[in-house]
Structure 1
């Protein structure tokens, strides 16, 4: 049988080009700007909520994952009560989860390139604009004396307990136990779960999810921003990496068995086609699609500036125990 796709793929390989192994992002209409998004479906009515880095943290909703998305307001339009991290109004990397009957949104306060950082919490029973209460700092802070940076929080429930992963550059990704209400740290020391010893240790934005006996640790690696003014060398831009472990608290390895505390990591999603610098990722369980990976990216046909980043999402498939986009 004539197989034109096989022939085209072979010719492209001969001439030094590659055929993307990744699916394109799912459709998005409406307010599709994104930066370090966090996505969840409201349990009462299935409405999708998308939260973004910046200012008071934008609230965007839709009845469909593909949109149209509509901006509804901000989580904390007046800023945070945290006063120790250099500024109070530009909050980063929201991470939203339902804890009992309450929605928890963890956020970061810092300035770009600084290790003076803190993680805060806001709570709501509905996630609607105007319903959020700032709870302030949760006990994860950093300064030049710490081996980590206290930004990019991610909560995961393990049985009846809660763990918070966080970190950016310096010592990369750390984790700490939370109290039973997931409102404060439990008082034990944070410990490292991922580290790339090379270069500037450009790993951040961790997100852990569970599937079929394994905890999958994902993170964003590389240069995140400013592509319109200083485009990184090929491959140095953001990409989404992964490791897995049978324990949520450590022992993460990549597809080759390499230790992810010593430079291990397999690529989950990287630049392809018109998709450039995907990162700021998370995973949630969609009511109809199952596990969905979401992230931000630059479309090379639209623009490379931070203000042009778009919301991307893909249903995850599986191969030999590893997620595939």
Structure 2
């Protein structure tokens, strides 16, 4: 990198660090990191495996898998499972899973995922474990948590977070928004009779907020969520918003103090240029750096959903920014 480019990058970082807390200023949204190979993906969850490779799992296939040696060149690696577990067919006719989440604890990799049908909250979240995190090595352990048509929440889009020695799962899509339950640390499944906490919603139906992901930074927990419409190619209006709380179960508020339960949320990333409908996000940490993973629809490739990766940094006031 030349000295001029280095100074330009440092200047841009300094400007973003000093931006107001409310939202990443209009026109400053960065393009995703250039990648090569198999870029097509939806609802990505990414992890740096202990073996040294990167793995990305996603909606599509029987939980589609991508592998990379450097986080830049990605290769198709098939699916997490060879065949769908039989119980998936209780929730859709094709055994089609959605929105996985991968994490590592207790010497194993844990893969959470949802099975449902479009437009219904007859849904379930399941879990599988693997010693390596690689496709083809997963053992399914069945249902973690379910929702029915009589519930006011939807058991899809799971994301796992540890807090104060406890294990929690945020989830939700439409049906009044984002929820959370405590999990049993041994089984990885919802505790019997667990309270269903309410974290975020929109003021009006259809309450278009989904895909939560929570991370801790400093003394706060940060709730990232996707707002508005997914899955419509170049017509998608997905965008990523964030709020924070000092306790895992909330209340979560944005930088103006507005609760996410009242429609609040700081805009972190939205469509710009060829990158439309940014959402389905997750966050992973790699060599001390936080990264935001998401999908976007490429207007220069017929709206094909592709993997977006951006560095995630934090202002002095503790709010996230993408670079």
The Cα of 1:252 is off from its aligned counterpart by 0.4
Q: Which residue of 2 aligns with 1:65?
A: 71
Scaled by the length of structure 1, what TM-score is found? 0.87
Distance 2:116 2:239 in 1: 23
Match of 1:324 in 2: 321
1:266 match: 266
More deviation, 213-222/76-85: 76-85
Pairwise CA distance, 1:51: 0.5
Q: Distance in 1 between the 2:52 and 2:38 partners?
A: 19
Runs in 1 of length 4+ with deviation above 4 angstroms? none
Distance 2:178 2:313 in 1: 26
Q: Which of 301, 314, 317 is the equivalent residue of 2:310? A: 314
Q: Deviations for 1:82-107, whole angstroms, at most 9, x for unmatched residues?
A: 24313352110010000211100001
Distance in 2 of aligned mates of 1:251 and 1:55? 36
1:200 maps onto 2:232 in alignment: no
Partner in structure 2 of residue 186 of structure 1: 191
2:244 match: secondary structure: strand
Q: TM-score, normalising length from structure 2? A: 0.88
In structure 1, how many angstroms separate the alpha carbons of the residues matched to 2:93 and 2:151?
Answer: 20
Q: 2:14 maps to which residue?
A: none
Structure with the bigger RCO (C-alpha within 8 Å, sep 6+) is 2
Instruction: Show the counterpart of 2:15.
Output: none
2:16 is aligned to none
Q: Is the CA contact 1:55–1:89 (under 8 Å) kept in the aligned structure 2?
A: no
Q: Are the equivalent residues in 2 in contact too, given 1:34–1:310 (CA < 8 A)?
A: yes
- Please state how far the C-alpha of 1:277 moved relative to its aligned partner: 0.5
Partner of 2:302: 303
Q: 1:84 aligns with which of 90, 95, 119?
A: 90
- Over aligned residues, Cα RMSD in angstroms? 1.5
Deviates more, 1:267-276 or 1:177-186: 177-186
Within a 5 Å distance, the mapping from 1:44-123 to structure 2 comes to 45-67=51-73, 69-82=74-87, 83-87=89-93, 89-123=95-129
The gaps in structure 1 that reach 5 residues or longer are 1-17
Q: Going by fraction, where is helix more abundant, 1 or 2?
A: 2
Is the 2:55–2:134 Cα contact (8 Å) retained in structure 1?
A: no
Partner Cα separation in structure 1 for residue 149 and residue 66 of structure 2: 35
**8 Å Cα contact 2:64-2:78 kept in structure 1:** yes
Aligned residue among 129, 132, 135 for 1:129: 135
CA contact (8 A) 1:166 1:206 kept: yes
* Counterpart secondary structure, 2:260: coil
The CA distance in 1 between the partners of 2:286 and 2:297, in whole Å, is: 24
